[in-house]
Amino acid sequence: MHLEAFYHGQRNNWSYAYDKRTIHLRFRTKRNDVEHVYVAAGDKYDWGRTYREKEMLKTASDALFDYWEVAFRPKYKRLTYGFKITAGNETEWMTENGITSYQPQPPGGYFEFPYIHAIDVFTPPEWAKNAVFYQIFPERFCNGDPSNDPENVEPWGSAPTYTNYMGGDLKGVQDHLDYLQDLGVNAIYFTPLFESPAYHKYDTLDYKKIDPAFGTNEQLKELVDECHRRGIRVVLDAVFNHSSENFFAFKDVREKGEQSKYADWYHIHEFPVQVKDGIPTYDTFGFFGAMPKLNTANPEVKKYLLDVARYWIGDIKLDGWRLDVANEIDHHFWRDFRSVVKEANPDAYIIGEVWNDSIAWLLGDQFDSVMNYPFSSKVLEFFANGNLDGFSFANSMGYLLMRYPQQANEVVFNLLCSHDTDRALTRCGEDKRKLKLAVVFLMTYMGTPCIYYGDEIGLKGGNDPECRRCMEWDPKKQDHELYDFYKLMINLRKNNQVLRSGQFHFLKADLGDKRIIYERIDDSMHFMIWMNNHSEPTTLTHPFETDDWIDALSGEAVHIRDGKMSISLDPFGFRIISRKLAPQEWE
Ligand code: CA
């Protein structure tokens, strides 16, 4: 065995409380190197009576490693443990003291989970596990009220630039709630709505006021109430990293320089504040002089922004926040932010914009979720670009799943595209078959899926500004076949708990082969998804013991022959089959 590959950490994604009673442990070994991993565990104050060994399950693999997982529900909420690893007739033990070929005398020197504190358990809101989000870029969704249009508004459907206006607003969203309900989504994520000089509203002028071109605070309140009546949650985008250069505090700094009482609200290197040779004399988002970075460690700034967070959640009854450039703001701020938001609404869902590994924010004291761009990047590499084989794709997914605790994986914000990327259909070379495979994967995978407005009716476009085109409302120009497909997949997910919270495993993911099979399984249902991510038709075969499968979309029986199931798949085709499980069949 390759001992140097053994790894376990007594924290984060390696050892965590999944709920008030359950501890999850993970262990890493070199890929295909060991046969079994067991946890030998007990309560250190009563070792003799509580000691037991439990086998770990290999839950994921990446290119280099296998990952093993097990759940414990210790009677006294404490766990002291070591790992026993076997291959052939070789046995190794790993504890905090190191690796030995014999079992070290317990419990001294073993790993420890000292106590499950309910207050420390990372508990994302339950509804987020069942949500299917729809992202709306309000300036471009629908112009429902021409009376609030900006002066220089262009006709709906004009080519988008970095600065032009089309007149979209809250009334336009309100007018299309039937549409969203018919599609089946049950949560909306709005990019910023607060007053701002830019059409995208990412540089805020007034954090407590809806931009007049979108409507009023009262209108948003009405919209949120109406959404709630229809079972739709509403999450808003907040930009606390930076303000507009015309935000009252920065304006004061520009006018009074060092004497301004807001001078410490920003990170200023040199007065007067200005942009010299393209570099501002103060910290900004990127190098944009119009987006000065707020000093969120300053107690006055913090109080100001936390009041904003509380107001929209408490008074307007929003269901959560999506936080822009969240990784460039200090962790102290986010911990206080979570307390304030959860106090106003314990069910609020907090999603950070972090494009990289986000474990530092996903431990229960800051965010519930992050925008899962690493997911979209790998999913599109596989389905859209076709430059991964099943093996590399499965390795990427396995690696991503093992980065976070399970409760984070259950609500991580999975997307195929957004206002900051190419449209998914465009990434797929406008091949709808490829887009559909990606959508099937999104809707049958772990995590909270989000659809970017217009993807469902075939909207196209490269990166910003192309991806921010006006929503197409002319029925003759909408792709109805694609819409029906999205609707079908959304409903499949909503009607099957197992697709939201069941275990996920790849059953086929081979080197040099773009055909994959994966399963979702819980104690009552078993789904198996077959995909041919290749331009030639194919027939896939997989061994099965039972003959009670049906096609999950058509309801037709799908039979096995000689202990095997054979499924023919079109180029870029898929098949979803399912069966009901008797409880004892699970595990
Ligand atoms: Ca308007």
What CATH number did the domain enclosing 147 receive? 3.20.20.80
Does a structural domain hold residue 64?
yes
Tell me, yes or no, whether 67 and 181 share the same domain.
no
Tell me, yes or no, whether 312 and 429 share the same domain.
yes
Tell me, yes or no, whether 115 and 138 share the same domain.
no
Residue 154 near residue 168, CB atoms below 8 Å:
no
Candidates 62, 145, 324, 410; catalytic one: 324
Domain end among 494, 529, 546: 494
Active site residue 365: no
Tell me, yes or no, whether 14 and 103 share the same domain.
yes
State in Å: Cα 328 to ligand 1 middle: 33
Candidates 69, 353, 455, 519; catalytic one: 353
Match 């071109």 to its residue by tokens.
213
State in Å: Cα 30 to ligand 1 middle: 58
Strand, coil or helix: 443: helix
Q: Report which secondary-structure segment, H or E, holds 336.
A: helix 331-344
Does a structural domain hold residue 187?
yes
Which of these, 109, 61, 40, 31, lies nearest to 392 by C-alpha position? 61
What are 218's two structure tokens? 């009262």
Match 């896939």 to its residue by tokens.
540
**Quick one: 410 exposed, middle or buried, by C-beta within 10 A (0-12, 13-18, 19+)?**
buried
For 270, half-sphere exposure in the C-beta direction (CA atoms, 13 angstrom radius) is 6
Tell me, yes or no, whether 345 and 467 share the same domain.
yes
Tell me, yes or no, whether 45 and 189 share the same domain.
no
Does a structural domain hold residue 520?
yes
Tell me, yes or no, whether 116 and 130 share the same domain.
no
What are 286's two structure tokens? 């990127």
**CATH number of the domain that 92 lies in?**
2.60.40.10
Tell me, yes or no, whether 139 and 108 share the same domain.
no
CA distances for 230 relative to 179, 185, 187, 226, angstroms:
12, 11, 10, 6
Does a structural domain hold residue 309?
yes
Does a structural domain hold residue 267?
no
State in Å: Cα 216 to ligand 1 middle: 12
User: Which residues make Cβ contacts (< 8 Å) with residue 33, sequence separation at least 6?
Assistant: 1, 2, 5, 66, 87
Tell me, yes or no, whether 573 and 432 share the same domain.
no
Domain end among 120, 135, 168: 120
Residue 4 burial (CB count, 10 A):
8
Active site residue 324: yes
Domain end among 101, 120, 139: 120
Tell me, yes or no, whether 113 and 167 share the same domain.
no
User: Which residues make Cβ contacts (< 8 Å) with residue 445, sequence separation at least 6?
Assistant: 414, 504
Looking at residue 116, what is its pLDDT? Answer: 98
∠ at Cα 536 (381, 424), nearest 5°?
30
Sign of the torsion angle spanned by Cα atoms 335, 337, 338, 340: positive
Report residue 19 CA to chain centroid gap. 20
Looking at residue 585, what is its pLDDT? Answer: 61
User: Which residues make Cβ contacts (< 8 Å) with residue 277, sequence separation at least 6?
Assistant: none
Structural domain count of the chain: 3
Give the domain range for residue 581.
498-586
State in Å: Cα 214 to ligand 1 middle: 7
Does a structural domain hold residue 61?
yes
Does a structural domain hold residue 362?
no
State in Å: Cα 154 to ligand 1 middle: 11
Tell me, yes or no, whether 111 and 188 share the same domain.
no
Does a structural domain hold residue 149?
yes
Q: pTM for this structure?
A: 0.96
Tell me, yes or no, whether 50 and 150 share the same domain.
no
Looking at residue 584, what is its pLDDT? Answer: 66
The residues of the chain scoring below 50 in pLDDT are 586-587
Sign of the torsion angle spanned by Cα atoms 336, 337, 342, 345: positive
Contacts from 24-27 at CB under 8 Å and sequence distance 24+? 24/69, 24/70, 24/71, 24/405, 24/406, 25/56, 25/69, 25/70, 25/71, 25/72, 25/81, 25/113, 26/59, 26/67, 26/68, 26/69, 26/402, 27/56, 27/67, 27/68, 27/69, 27/83, 27/85, 27/94
Task: Report the alpha-carbon distance of residue 517 to residue 537 in Å, rounded.
Answer: 16
**CATH number of the domain that 523 lies in?**
2.60.40.1180
State in Å: Cα 144 to ligand 1 middle: 6
